Amino acid sequence: MLTFIGMGLYDEKDISIKGYEKVKEADEVYIEFYTSKLVGTTRERLEEFFGREIVELRREDLEDRSRELVEKARHKDIVLLIPGDVAVATTHSSIMLEARQKGVDIQLIHGASIVSAVCGLTGLHNYRFGKSATVAYPYGKTVSRTPIRVILDNWSINAHTLLYLDLHPEPMTIAKAVEILKKADDDKMLKDAYAVGLARAGSEKPVVRCDRLYELPEHDFGDPLYIMVVLAKKLHITEYEFLSAFANAPHELSLSVE
Amino acid sequence: MLTFIGMGLYDEKDISIKGYEKVKEADEVYIEFYTSKLVGTTRERLEEFFGREIVELRREDLEDRSRELVEKARHKDIVLLIPGDVAVATTHSSIMLEARQKGVDIQLIHGASIVSAVCGLTGLHNYRFGKSATVAYPYGKTVSRTPIRVILDNWSINAHTLLYLDLHPEPMTIAKAVEILKKADDDKMLKDAYAVGLARAGSEKPVVRCDRLYELPEHDFGDPLYIMVVLAKKLHITEYEFLSAFANAPHELSLSVE
């Protein structure tokens, strides 16, 4: 059996009781910090917390050694720990598929994900989020326009856009992400956009700030991880009220309320 | 302090360690099963599990007695337990806002939500989900067209649609939801739509089936809770492979792969 366990958002105590018990009783436990991170802990602290060895899988392991993991899981109880929830990153569904094709049983134990946590932290309505995208570090001189295309797509149906920020080689800051978006925004489509920057979701001191997208770099978000939401053109009144109360939203944002 | 704790998807062991510890040490603990449910447990079993009294809030309590809860939290450590994650339902963000306006501190402890779990269970890519909607029981003879409008909006940007099923007076079945959608679909816009039905996410035996939307009632999903996803018109190859391997997707779905 290959069990995928979502670890939640921030530190070792964000795993579910079900997940914790499974880690304790498994034959072997692996973890990957490639698709996301748990900035409130380390592999060493996790080993102490669970009282057992945890082997970290690197990017190349995830891609090349997943076969090995699946084979092991044929006769042993193998756990793969994943920050956030299972298979929000497509890497994990590929491993699940490989297991299925080889007749190896899988099990999922879910964890909290930024995908839902963003609603509690921003007050933005879950049903109003559209497609999401990742702001990637430029590849040479090439800046991807994908996030801009996704934001425009979502605007066409009056939806918010969750933007993940690249983690490699290091977690991208909100200032850097805005700089990259600006570079890709040839036609200044985003110049009037409002956005929310969010740091350390799941911690005791998350920071949430709402401003014009291109003004977000002026705010101090503290330590990583970060995500951003580019707002739909129209807001529900309670979304505005929440952002005003919890995220220092500028008063002009009230003009977006429909 | 008013602490909102997401309980996760299915039973008492889906709460995080952090949430569990907070419940143990709080002055008073409340729970609501109005915005969602934990079908794998009961309030009584939760009381036994946590070794303390847990007061259930009904719908009218959530709306009228939230003021009382907020006032109590001014001097006491109050916990509100919520199935799934915090504030995926907008009811919770209203209570948070009320607390903020009265100067009462709040804290969020997140839990797993169907919003992310659906990715691990269906293999559908997180970044390809658009807006979501709820299929509501008809109000008199009036069937809401909102889910259809949302599906069409999402199709216009090639996105999947997560559909929540009404919980009141009782959890809606997938067969009933399809019947309601059919009634609202005057122009037969959804007749060629493919969809995924999902039962008991977070349990050991979730059921996931992919078929034409209007054929889903032919499948046996077993006990609640249920949700559905209406697929985008175009699929990624790995989405198709996953649905084929895990959800008995019909072979014709391969024609949707782009």
Quote the CA–CA distance of B3 and B243 in Å, as a whole number.
Answer: 38
Q: What is the pLDDT of residue A71?
A: 95
Picking from B100, B157, B201, the nearest residue to A157 by CB comes out as: B157
Q: Does A100 lie at the interface with B, CB-CB under 8 angstroms?
A: yes
- Token pair for B71: 């006032």
For B93-104, what is each residue's pLDDT tens digit? 999 999 999 999
Any idea which of A53-67, A93-107, A137-151, B190-204 has the lowest mean pLDDT? A53-67
As a whole-number percent, the residues of chain B with pLDDT over 70 amount to 100
Q: What is the pLDDT of residue B61?
A: 85
User: Stretch B170-186: mean pLDDT, rounded?
Assistant: 97
Position A62 pLDDT exceeds 90: no
Contact A126 B120 (CB under 8 A): no
Q: What is the pLDDT of residue B140?
A: 86
Query: Which residue(s) pair with A109 in the sheet?
Result: A5
Position B87 pLDDT exceeds 90: no
More confident residue, B65 or B131: B131
Write out chain A residues lying below 8 Å of B97, CB-based: 123, 238, 241-242, 245
Half-sphere exposure of A6 toward its Cβ, with a 13 Å CA cutoff? 33
Q: Does A92 lie at the interface with B, CB-CB under 8 angstroms?
A: yes
For B111-148, what is each residue's pLDDT tens digit? 999 999 999 999 999 999 999 999 999 988 889 999 99
Query: Which B residues 137-156 touch A at CB under 8 Å?
Result: 150, 153-154, 156
Q: What is the pLDDT of residue A178?
A: 98
Three-state DSSP state, B221: coil
Picking from A89, A93, A115, the nearest residue to B238 by CB comes out as: A93
* CA–CA min distance A180, chain B (Å): 20
Q: What is the pLDDT of residue B72?
A: 96
**Chain center to CA of A72:** 29
Q: Which of A246, A199, A195, A192 is nearest to A216 (CA)?
A: A195
Position B65 pLDDT exceeds 90: no
Q: What is the pLDDT of residue B114?
A: 97
Contact A21 B15 (CB under 8 A): no
Picking from B15, B112, B131, the nearest residue to A159 by CB comes out as: B131
CA distances from A184 to A146, A212, A227, B50 (A): 9, 17, 18, 52
> In order of start, what are the domains of chain A with their CATH numbers?
2-109 (3.40.1010.10), 114-256 (3.30.950.10)
Write out chain A residues lying below 8 Å of B123, CB-based: 87, 93, 96-97
Q: What is the pLDDT of residue A89?
A: 84
pTM: 0.97
pLDDT confidence of A112, banded at 50, 70, 90?
very high
* CA–CA min distance A35, chain B (Å): 13
Position B185 pLDDT exceeds 90: yes
Specify the residue for token string 């944002």: A253
Nearest residue in B to A204, CA atom: B107
ipTM score of complex: 0.97
pLDDT confidence of B89, banded at 50, 70, 90?
confident
Picking from A8, A125, A131, the nearest residue to B159 by CB comes out as: A131
Averaged pLDDT score across all residues of chain B? 96
User: Stretch A115-138: mean pLDDT, rounded?
Assistant: 97
Decide if A115 contacts A236 (C-beta within 8 A). Answer: no
For A191-221, what is each residue's pLDDT tens digit? 999 999 999 999 999 999 999 999 999 999 9
Q: What is the pLDDT of residue A64?
A: 80
Q: Does B128 lie at the interface with A, CB-CB under 8 angstroms?
A: yes
pLDDT confidence of A5, banded at 50, 70, 90?
very high
User: Stretch A79-102: mean pLDDT, rounded?
Assistant: 93
Q: Which of A25, A70, A61, A30 is nearest to A46 (CA)?
A: A30
Specify the residue for token string 């807006």: B131
Q: Specify burial of residue A12 (Cβ count, 10 A radius: 0-12, 13-18, 19+).
A: buried
- Token pair for B245: 């391997």
Q: What is the pLDDT of residue A60?
A: 85
Picking from B8, B108, B241, the nearest residue to A97 by CB comes out as: B241
Q: What is the pLDDT of residue B59?
A: 86
Q: What is the pLDDT of residue B245?
A: 97
Quote the CA–CA distance of B258 and A150 in Å, as a whole number.
Answer: 18
Contact B13 A6 (CB under 8 A): no
Q: Does A66 lie at the interface with B, CB-CB under 8 angstroms?
A: no
User: Stretch B150-154: mean pLDDT, rounded?
Assistant: 98
pLDDT confidence of A63, banded at 50, 70, 90?
confident
